[in-house]
Amino acid sequence: MALLEILTFPDPRLAQPATNVEVVDDALRQLIDDMFETMYAAEGVGLAAPQVGVLKRLIVLDCGEREKDDQRPLPPVQPYAIINPTIVAKEGEIVWEEGCLSVPGYTDEVNRAAKVTVKGLDRNGQPLHIEAEGLLAVCLQHEIDHLEGTIFLDRLSRLKQSMVKKKLRKKAEEEARP
Ligand code: GNR
Ligand code: NI
């Protein structure tokens, strides 16, 4: 088990497309376990491999409902690991207030499909088919975006995007050389 470093905007690796996983082996399953551990430790509901510097099409998520003031450490509620995920159907529209572990300290409303059907492979290489709505649907779209090198900031209006990205670049620069 190991905690992985989560890359933050504007790391160029977050803007690169990921490539398909060709073999589902123990090394990949170890990466999946480490991604879950990293995601729970960061209190995220999803994590895509490029966020930990691995440019492969792999995501983990756990968007299960949790009691609001449950103080216990995040337990796995509805965990999914999806290898080579693709959206095969989408329907409707929903606006969701999104955040991203790679964009700490900023959230904003994003338009997404309200329902999605996602296909891919599970950790054993078996076919997986998920029909989702609500937070799970939003999360699947957010994570699959990461595999294309897209972050939620890219889905804001052009004006907002340029303002927010400029601020975040400045903040990252200040943190790099204070
Ligand atoms: O933890 C996360 N919360 C979240 C909230 C609303 C919409 C999407 C997300 S995903 C995010 C974790 C993350 O950055 N995954 O890539
Ligand atoms: Ni994200």
The protein residue whose alpha carbon is closest to atom 13 in ligand 1 is: 100
The 10s digit of each residue's pLDDT in 67-84 is 666 655 556 778 999 999
In a domain, 105, yes or no: yes
In a domain, 5, yes or no: no
- Residue 143 is among the residues annotated as catalytic for this protein: yes
- Domain with 118 in it: 12-176
What is the band of 93 on the pLDDT scale with cuts at 50, 70, 90?
very high
Residue 139 CA, ligand 1 centroid: distance in Å: 6
User: Considering the entire predicted model, what is its pTM?
Assistant: 0.95
Distance CA(61)–CA(47), nearest Å, equals 6
- The reply to whether ligand 1 has any atom less than 6 angstroms from the CB of 100 is yes
**Ligand 1: nearest atom to the Cα of 42:** 1
In a domain, 6, yes or no: no
135 phi and psi angles, rounded to 5 deg: -60, -40
Classify 134 as helix, strand or coil: helix
In a domain, 27, yes or no: yes
Cα 99 to the center of its chain, rounded Å: 10
Distance CA(68)–CA(144), nearest Å, equals 27
In a domain, 66, yes or no: yes
In a domain, 102, yes or no: yes
In a domain, 4, yes or no: no
**Structural element, H or E, at residue 168:** helix 158-176
Domain tally for the chain? 1
Interior angle at CA 90, CA 119 and CA 21, nearest 5? 25
Residue 79 preceded by cis peptide, ω within 30: no
In a domain, 90, yes or no: yes
- The reply to whether ligand 1 has any atom less than 6 angstroms from the CB of 45 is yes
- The reply to whether ligand 1 has any atom less than 6 angstroms from the CB of 44 is yes
CATH number at residue 16: 3.90.45.10
Contact 101, 142 (CB under 8 A): no
Classify 161 as helix, strand or coil: helix
The 10s digit of each residue's pLDDT in 130-174 is 999 999 999 999 999 999 999 999 999 999 999 999 999 999 999
Q: What is the pLDDT of residue 178?
A: 84
Contact 167, 153 (CB under 8 A): no
Burial class (CB in 10 A: 0-12, 13-18, 19+), 95: exposed
